[in-house]
Structure 1
Amino acid sequence: MMTFLVELGEQVAATSFLEWVAVVLAVIYLVLAAHQSLWCWYAAAVSCAIYTHLMFAANLYMETVLQLIYIALAVYGWWQWRFGRGSTLASEVRSLSWQWHLAMSLVMAAIAAVIAMLLTAYTSADAVWLDTYTTVFSLFATWLLSRKQFANWWYWLVIDSVYVYLYASKGFVVTGALYFVYLILVCYAMWQWRITEQADKGAAAVAR
């Protein structure tokens, strides 16, 4: 226990100001997304922009590319929530069928498998399969969020649970703890979206 606390303290002390800003903005992004606020995409874009700088400075070029993709998704999500299908409340968005989710999950799994095999063959990357699958499905879940599909939160429950294990097993205690906080926020977002849905249905019933 003492070793864990010492390691945690060392990692907290070693965390730069910019990284803390990125982390705080990532948390704000989830809280705002839970309330279906358009501002969540601004927080996401700035957080990812900071991570892009940090990853590039650390010579983590694949992570840099990933953060750039997240910025593009933040712009897309903002546009969808402002002008597209996400411009209405999530309760008004038609849910996609379980057959669609099954088919897309199989497609995402196949894409992740191909990428993982290529990384295994041509790089010395560690934890390739877990890292690749979480990355591919994270991008997919973010796209679902941009469309205000409630199912995105179910994907995030699984993804963030895997991230807690992945980062903790690699010694990134603070990051693992952050993803545990994300898990709590995902549960909060699910609860908040359901409350909004019930309130919207109640208002519609009264209007009739």
Structure 2
Amino acid sequence: MNALLWLLDARLEIAGSHVLWREIVGNVFGLASALLGMRRLVWAWPVGMFGNALLFTVFLGGAFATPQAVDLYGQAGRQVFFFAVSVYGWWRWSRNRRLGTSPDAGAVVPRWASARERVGLVAAAVIGTALAYPVLKALGSWGPLPDAWILVGSLLATYGMARGWVEFWLIWIAVDAVGVPLLLQGRFYPSAAMYGVYGFFCAWGFVSWLRTSLALRRRTDQAPTSYVEVTA
């Protein structure tokens, strides 16, 4: 209990501004989840869920004691949706591991989304952002339009990761490009810094998954019956 209270209240000063340790710890868990995801390990999901729980408290500055006292409802809401989508991702990757659907040690087989799936992603991005913007604006979210895209784009990227689509890394890069300036303006400095790190990391992850998908495709071309991908 003492450790939990410390995590909720502890802060440090950076460049004259107070920063919560839970913001730092939550983002570290987020980065760890991304690293595990790049390696296609099931542990990516529960690790990320712990970070989501911490960051949820950070972005509701009006409800929890934070130095910023700024509510980013899109950022807070996406932690809730992250948690829900991560349950699906955890289940899907765990099932893949049990069934041995991948010809290597990964829990998912990286692949490009189909043309139909890409159209669905674009449609969901446009419609989702258009719907989220007025809701976040009415709630009083700070920076509702970029906050809406960050919310919707993050959900699409997380779902794409669960499905094994290589494009999910590109969606994350687009989210980071919008998130860094928004978080800097809101003085969420650790989160802004982590978004910047995520951007470079996502480029690395994209190249890694792309190479893996090409390697697995060559392998399956040589032995087409070596595995069966589960698409449900």
Q: Does 1:67 align with 2:73?
A: no
Checking the alignment, whether the CA contact within 8 Å between 2:72 and 2:142 is kept in structure 1 is no
Rounded to whole Å, the distance in 2 between the matches of 1:193 and 1:129 is 30
Checking the alignment, whether the CA contact within 8 Å between 1:142 and 1:152 is kept in structure 2 is yes
Would the alpha carbon gap of residues 107 and 205 (structure 1) be closer, same or farther in structure 2, given more than 3 Å must change? closer
Rounded to whole Å, the distance in 1 between the matches of 2:169 and 2:195 is 14
User: Which residue of 2 is the match for residue 156 of structure 1?
Assistant: 172
Q: Does 1:106 align with 2:106?
A: no
Q: Which of 43, 48, 53 is the equivalent residue of 1:49?
A: 53
1:155 shift after superposition: 0.8
1:162 shift after superposition: 1.0
User: Which residue of 1 is the match for residue 89 of structure 2?
Assistant: 77
User: Which residue of 2 is the match for residue 178 of structure 1?
Assistant: 194
Residue by residue, what CA displacement relative to the aligned partner does 1:6-32 show, whole Å, maximum 9, x if unpaired? x95334xx3333322212111111111
RMSD over aligned CA atoms reads 3.0
1:80 shift after superposition: 0.9
Structure 2 runs not aligned, ≥5 long = 1-12, 64-70, 225-232
1:151 shift after superposition: 0.9
Q: Does 1:24 align with 2:40?
A: no
Higher RCO, 1 vs 2 (CA within 8 Å, ≥6 residues apart): 1
**Higher normalized helix content (fraction of residues):** 1
User: Which residue of 2 is the match for residue 37 of structure 1?
Assistant: 41
Residue by residue, what CA displacement relative to the aligned partner does 1:135-186 show, whole Å, maximum 9, x if unpaired? 1121111111111111111111111111112222334333222111001110
Would the alpha carbon gap of residues 128 and 56 (structure 1) be closer, same or farther in structure 2, given more than 3 Å must change? closer
Residue by residue, what CA displacement relative to the aligned partner does 1:92-148 show, whole Å, maximum 9, x if unpaired? 45533334323432233123212312443x343332111112211211111111111
Would the alpha carbon gap of residues 198 and 181 (structure 1) be closer, same or farther in structure 2, given more than 3 Å must change? same
1:64 shift after superposition: 4.2
1:65 shift after superposition: 4.0
Rounded to whole Å, the distance in 2 between the matches of 1:202 and 1:100 is 23
Rounded to whole Å, the distance in 1 between the matches of 2:41 and 2:113 is 22
SS of the aligned residue for 1:15 comes to strand
TM-score (norm 2): 0.72
Would the alpha carbon gap of residues 40 and 10 (structure 1) be closer, same or farther in structure 2, given more than 3 Å must change? farther
SS of the aligned residue for 2:30 comes to helix
Checking the alignment, whether the CA contact within 8 Å between 1:95 and 1:149 is kept in structure 2 is yes
